[in-house]
Amino acid sequence: MTQKLVWRTEKRRFNDLLPYEKNPRTISDKQLSDLKKSLKKFGLVEIPAITIDEQIIAGHQRIRVLQLLGRGEEEIDVRIPNRKL
């Protein structure tokens, strides 16, 4: 029987999170610029999700932009499951 999936919030550094190599989403230069402006103004509003192996499953672009803004060493809240997905 598979263990019930339960999500919890933990702290991680941006630079410790690993991008998913097959992430299908891309971002245009305009979208990148708009996202930078938004993150500077409002901060990280939506919490990224990661696997138990620190791999990003939601929030690739937000994390990438914040790293570009020099915030890679900061700790943020992330959502992480209690088991492998």
Q: What are the tens digits of pLDDT across the range 68-82?
A: 999 989 999 999 999
Give domain status of residue 13, yes or no: yes
Q: For residue 78, what pLDDT is reported?
A: 96
Domain span including residue 18 = 7-81
Give domain status of residue 29, yes or no: yes
- State the total domains in the chain: 1
> 47 exposed, middle or buried (CB, 10 Å; 0-12, 13-18, 19+)?
middle
Give domain status of residue 1, yes or no: no
Give domain status of residue 23, yes or no: yes
What percent of the chain lies above the pLDDT cut of 70?
Answer: 100
Give domain status of residue 2, yes or no: no
pTM of the shown model: 0.85
CA dist 52 and 42 (Å) reads: 28
